[in-house]
Each structure stands twice: as C-alpha cells, then as structure tokens.
Structure 1
Amino acid sequence: MTTGTALLVSATRVLRAAGVEDPARDARILLAHALGVDRSRLTLVLPDVVENHHAAAFEQAISARANRQPVAQIIGTRAFYGRDFIVTGDVLDPRPDTELLVDTALSVPFANVLDLGTGTGCILLTLLAERPDALGQGVDLSSAALSIARANAEAMQIADRAEFLEGSWFDAVATDQQFDLIVSNPPYISETEMMALAPEVRDWEPHLALSPGGDDLAAYRKIIADALHYLASGGHLMVEIGAGQGAAVKEMFQNAGFIETQVLKDLSGHDRVVAGDGPCVPHFAE
C-alpha cells in the first residue's frame, strides 16, 4: 500500500525521464483521474493510502503517458471554452489557440453555421452552445470522428440543433444551402513538417486532420474557392491558420472576392485566424 504523494513523486520522475514537457502537471491530472476526484481536491487526498485498483489504474495511465500518448486521450476528455469534450485517437485534441476562432465567430451575428473538418465538434458545438437559437452542420471525412462529434453533441444536449455529414469539405453539403457563417480548422501542416512535430501529435493524432499532404495550403484553396457559393449575402468565412500562413491565406480570401479580410493574432502574438465577409449581393446575382 502506498500514498498518493508517493505515487505522484514516482510518476513525475518517470514522465520526466520520458521527456514529457510538464511531468508534474500531467502526473497530477492522471492521478486525479485514476482516483476519481476533482483536480481541485487532489492535494487534500494525497496523504491518504491509495487502494490497489486505483494505484494500478494510475500506473497504467503513467505508462501510456510515458509512451507520449496525449493526456486527453488517456482520460478521454479535453476542456475547451469551458466545456469538456470527448477525445479519442480518432480526433484532434482541441487546442486553446482554437478558442480565438470561436471568439471571432461569436463577434458576428449568425443563425446557422457550417463547420468544415469538425473533428470533435468543439468549434461547432461551442458556437451552438453560446448561441442557443442557432443551427449548425459539421462535415468530416472521417466517420470515426463524426461518431465522436455526435457523442459530444448528445452530451451537451444540443444534438437537435447539430447535423453531421460525412464527406470532403463542401461535397457533403446540399448545393442549395446557404450559411451565415462558415468556419474551419483544416489540416495545415506540410508533409515535411510532420516529422518535426512532438510525439504526442505526430504519433497519436490522426494525420488526416493534421496535414493535407504535401502543400500546406491545399485545404484553404479548396475551402475558399467554394465558400461564396454556400454563404448567404454578407456572410462570414473564418479559418484557423498555421505559422507563416497569414499573408498567403488573406490573399486567397481577397482574390476570391471576400471583403473586410483580416488576419487575427492569438495571445502569443502569432497569426491564428483569417476572417472575411462575403459581398452583400443576392446569392445568385449575375
């Protein structure tokens, strides 16, 4: 029998040796999960003796983390915009940086929204949770990812306002549909950059959602080229971007006919979101 404190000290040592960036933080998260206690209460129970089945569950979690499996996959959830989302190896782990895309989207009015490459559904479902009268569609090429998105919608009790479609970008969307807002966090890591990623990303997250393969701007070209057909008059297109892509993606927006185009920076000062408005003209005007 051992205490929570002893387990935590040993686990932190193991994770540090494995090259985990913040071993003490991750060990605490995984111990709280194994014990079934809120993280805010962990310090209170650390002196207590840990039952064998809890200790075994913790050791299994630490082994997975030492193998560089992301914490969110191990515990099965990730907090995003104040809500917990189900996470598996079939979807990208929601990133705090993506919250800027949500903030930007919430700065404009919309009654319906389309999320391309929805993954966990974290962007779409957060927008619908924040706008209780809005409806939305999420598209993904991965049926496994769509299963997670649907589960998240059910858990958030907004499944009646979210429809999920399987397909590549706009291919799954009815050609006569129009949206006030289209958002996307598409794959934007080039094939050559993939090998330089941290093991947690490179080895555990779906490559389909990380890289378009080869050219890192391919997804933007496709989305931007077709977006105006699906935008209501004066609608908004917003996409998350990677490092160094702001100027190129902004130029694509402008060349496609978007107005009021801007590049927004995240809290670290990096270009993170490109947003633009469709022209205020009848959708099928000649």
Structure 2
Amino acid sequence: MAEALLTGSLRRQMAARLAACGCDTPDLDARLLLAFALGCPPAEMLAQADTPVAAAAEAAAWALVARRCAGEPVARIQGAKEFWSLDFRLSPETLVPRPDTETVVEEALARCPQRDAPLRILDLGTGTGAILAALLVERPAATGVGIDRSEGAARTARDNLARLGVGARSAVLVGDWGTGVRGGFDLVVSNPPYIAAGHMAGLPVEVGRHDPALALVAGADGLCAYRAIAADLPRLLAPGGAAVLELGAGQEPDVAALLSASGLRLAGPARRDLGGIARALCAFRP
C-alpha cells in the first residue's frame, strides 16, 4: 500500500504542474486549491505541511488542478472572491470581482466623504453586488439599489448583501439599467460592460470562457452601455449628485465626452488603478 503524501509535498507537486501549464501564480494557486480540497483555511497550509493527505482528498486536489490548467480561474473553482476585504459568492451570471474595480469604490468614497451621510446609492449592473456592498459597509447610514439585467446575478447580489449584513438597507432589481427606477440618487456607480464585440476572441481564457458575455460585451465599439447610462444620469441623479463609472483601458476621452454631452460636469481626470490605467471617472449633475 502506497504511503500517503504529506500536504507540503502535494502542494509542491501541484505548483509544479500549474507552472508547467503556464499559470502565472502557481504557488499561490496550489495553496488555495489544496486548501479548498481539504476544506481548511489557506493560512493553515504551512502548519499542516507534514500532515498526510487522504487518497480521496489528493484525487480531489488533482481534479482542481486540471480545471485550473484548462483555464478556469481559482475564484470560479472556489465559487467565491474577496473584494474590499469582503467575501462574495459567485454564480455563472456574475463577473469575478477584480481589484481594479476597487478604484470605483475609492473614488465614490472620496466624493462622499461624510461617513454618516444618509446617501441614496444606485449601482447599475450590480453583478455580485460588490461595489454596492462595499459602499454600504463604509457608509452605514446609506441605502442602496442594485440593478442587473440577469435574474441569476440579481439573486446572487441579494444573497451577498444579506450575508454581509446590509440586506436591510438595500434592494436588488432586474431591469435595463436605470429605466425602472425613479431618480433622486446622491450617488450612481457602475462597472458596465465595456469590451468591443470584436475584441472578445483576444480575451484571456479566464475571462472570455468563464465570465458571462452579457457582463462583458457592449456593442461594436464597447460604448453602448456608457451611452445608455450617460443619457439617463441627469434624471437619475439628484442635483449635486455624483456618478462614478469604471472604464476600460483607453476609454476615458470617449466616456468623458458622453457624460459632458448629457449635461454633467466632470470632476476631473479619472482615478487610476494600481496599474496606472485611468479606471474610475466621476461626473456631477450641476
């Protein structure tokens, strides 16, 4: 009978397999996937390095490695992703929340600095509810509405908001951007689809094959969602209210022009993410 592998040895073998199939972060991925297979926190991996792994758990771990080598993101495999130090469950209808999107939260908080302000927040294309939940956690007197075109995404957002303790201050609706709600919001945020249809084939496998196309593609030029949102913002925003939109790389001039054409006043250049990309553009209703 073969002797059981130790956790540390299995983790190193998994990392080597992941590196061989081209994963950018093989050591991290191996640790996260093995922890998931074993049902323990990733932080405990080092302490358990000399613990034997049962045959069933080893087989489960290698099955996860195979999925990762086929391009499935670790977050999809785990079914959850951290955003703004909060844990969000995923579904097939939602994007995986990305660190770049935290730039939208940062910009929104900077534009609404009073912690106890009774803000009314609207999140267009809410997905997992990540942006809305982060803002409601940071602004405990605020209330919010999330809207998504996907019923599955809306269910996921409701579940996440409830688990994070902000369900009583939020509602999630199914609809086409803001057409189903009245205006008067102090803050409108959105991470809309912004990829041109012709660019889908060039996306990384992790995105193009595993994120929902509905949340990615925005027409031939990637600006369809921005056009719809910008046209409705004067109605949705209260006087003096702010909108913060996530941008794709290189889209700041086009989106700024759409916002200005709708009568909004730009707050300044877009806030840049950690990679230096102009990521979060803010405009006010005068």
> TM-score scaled by structure 2?
0.93
Structure 1, gaps ≥5 residues long:
280-286
2:56 and 2:219 map into 1 onto residues whose CA distance is: 44
Aligned mate of 1:272, from 270, 276, 279: 279
| Maintained 8 Å contact 1:254/1:261 | no
1:3 and 1:151 map into 2 onto residues whose CA distance is: 37
Residue number in structure 1 paired with 2:48: 45
In structure 2, what residue type is equivalent to 1:147?
Answer: R
Q: Does 1:94 find its partner at 2:97?
A: yes
Which SS does the other structure have where 1:43 is aligned? coil
Q: Which moved more, 1:40-49 or 1:51-60?
A: 51-60
| Maintained 8 Å contact 2:7/2:49 | yes
| Maintained 8 Å contact 1:140/1:169 | yes
Q: Does 1:11 find its partner at 2:14?
A: yes
Shift, 1:84, TM fit: 0.8
2:175 and 2:8 map into 1 onto residues whose CA distance is: 49
Residue number in structure 2 paired with 1:114: 122
Which SS does the other structure have where 1:242 is aligned? coil
1:87 and 1:57 map into 2 onto residues whose CA distance is: 21
1:62-141 equivalences under 5 Å are 62-109=65-112, 111-141=119-149
Which SS does the other structure have where 1:107 is aligned? helix
| Maintained 8 Å contact 1:178/1:230 | yes
Which SS does the other structure have where 2:101 is aligned? helix
Shift, 1:180, TM fit: 0.2
| Maintained 8 Å contact 1:139/1:172 | no
| Maintained 8 Å contact 2:243/2:284 | yes
Residues 193-243 of structure 1, C-alpha deviations (whole Å, 9 max, x = no match) = 111111010101101101113220111111001111011110001100001
Q: Does 1:241 find its partner at 2:243?
A: no
- Give the share of equivalent positions with the same residue, in percent: 39
In structure 1, what residue type is equivalent to 2:237?
Answer: L
Structure 2, gaps ≥5 residues long:
none
In structure 2, what residue type is equivalent to 1:67?
Answer: A
Shift, 1:55, TM fit: 1.7
Q: Which moved more, 1:235-244 or 1:61-70?
A: 61-70
1:25 and 1:77 map into 2 onto residues whose CA distance is: 16
Shift, 1:166, TM fit: 0.5
1:194-213 equivalences under 5 Å are 194-213=200-219
Residues 95-153 of structure 1, C-alpha deviations (whole Å, 9 max, x = no match) = 00110100111113361100000000000011111111110000000111111101101
Residue number in structure 2 paired with 1:2: 5
| Maintained 8 Å contact 2:128/2:157 | yes
In structure 2, what residue type is equivalent to 1:39?
Answer: P
Q: Please report the RMSD computed on the Cα atoms of aligned residues, expressed in angstroms.
A: 1.3
Shift, 1:3, TM fit: 1.2
1:143 and 1:205 map into 2 onto residues whose CA distance is: 16
In structure 1, what residue type is equivalent to 2:105?
Answer: V
1:273 and 1:6 map into 2 onto residues whose CA distance is: 43
Aligned mate of 2:150, from 135, 142, 146: 142
Shift, 1:260, TM fit: 3.8
| Aligned positions, number | 277
In structure 1, what residue type is equivalent to 2:234?
Answer: L
Residue number in structure 2 paired with 1:168: 176
